[in-house]
Amino acid sequence: MDTSAERAVEVTNANGSGPFVIVCDHASNRIPERYGDMGLSAIERVSHIAWDPGALAVSRALSELTDAPLVASMVSRLVIDCNRDLDAPDLIWTLSEATRIEANEGLSETERAYRIEHFHRPFHDAIDAVLDARRDAGRETVLVCMHSFTPIYLGVARPWPIGLIHAHDSRLTVALGAALLAESPSLNIGWNEPYAALNGVTLTLEKHGDARGLPATMIEIRNDELLEAEGVALWAGRIERGLEAARLALAGAEAV
């Protein structure tokens, strides 16, 4: 039975000296043994409904490029979505795109509380621990939330290879977009696409970025861009350069 916090979250390079902290909410499609296969097929369990394919790979590459701590959830969002408020209706999905999650229907309050305590809370506690340590050490910190998205959702094609999302503070997101476009003028950026804060998808961004007054952004990469190692490396490099340019731009603006 997988119940330990160690299996709920993975923290890599916790003492990284770079300015960025990377968080990956939907890094894994792992379903703890106690839940079996949740009534889902093998194909469904590896599809985008269970996790963000490629997001962990690009997060790890970005962590290495920037010497950044990386905090990643190691439990499928079908068990509990770590990027949702505890009172959100989709904290525990019963329908994901067109797939019914029967194992999540009619959950008892005891089971709901169990999932929060063993999977959701440890993830956010781990982020807080990394951020608290950096604050206490006086380190500059920029929060980056990494995701991927499916190219077609409910039959609708999504044309953007990358989406940039902000919650209350848009400064880093806007600066990052400007930096990416300066390098690749034809890049089709989805601004607050394929989701926006009003869709309830910015818990991690708000809880650990905005609430602490940290520059923060949420990055969504279309997952067909991350199928091969070359694509992962390409996007990690683009994002690293964009984030560094955005960070310096914000620092310059604050100094004026």
Query: CA 50, 191, 175 angle in degrees (round to 5)?
Result: 115
68's tokens? 């950044």
The pLDDT tens digits of the residues spanning 54-92 come to 999 999 999 999 999 999 999 999 999 999 999 999 999
> Which residue type sits at 27?
A
Backbone phi, psi, residue 83, to 5°: -105, 30
User: Which residue(s) pair with 96 in the sheet?
Assistant: 99
Q: What is the mean pLDDT of residues 188-197?
A: 96
Torsion of CA 126, 131, 136, 138, to 10 degrees: 150
What is the predicted pLDDT for the residue at 3?
Answer: 46
pLDDT at 255: 60
Mean pLDDT (whole number) for 210-231: 98
Q: What is the mean pLDDT of residues 168-184?
A: 98
**Measured distance CA(54)–CA(224) in Å, rounded:** 9
For CA atoms 237, 187, 83, 211, give the dihedral sign: positive
User: What is the pLDDT, as a whole number, of residue 6?
Assistant: 52
The three-state secondary structure class of 120 is: helix
What is the per-residue pLDDT for 253?
Answer: 76
Give the mean pLDDT of 90-115. Answer: 94
Mean pLDDT, the chain, rounded, equals 95
User: What mean pLDDT do residues 223-246 have?
Assistant: 98
Please state the pTM of the whole predicted model.
Answer: 0.95
What distance in Å separates the CA atoms of residue 63 and residue 243, rounded to the nearest whole number?
12
d(CA 35, CA 31): 7
Q: What pLDDT is stored for residue 252 in this prediction? A: 83
End-to-end CA distance of the chain: 56
DSSP lists the bridge partners of residue 24 as 72
Domains of the chain with CATH codes: 5-255 (3.40.630.40)
Percent of residues, the chain, with pLDDT higher than 70? 97
CA distances from 192 to 12, 91, 204, 219 (A): 28, 21, 15, 9
Q: In 3-state terms, what secondary structure has residue 25?
A: coil
Distance between CA atoms of residues 14 and 43, nearest Å: 34
Say if residues 44 and 50 touch (Cβ distance below 8 Å): yes
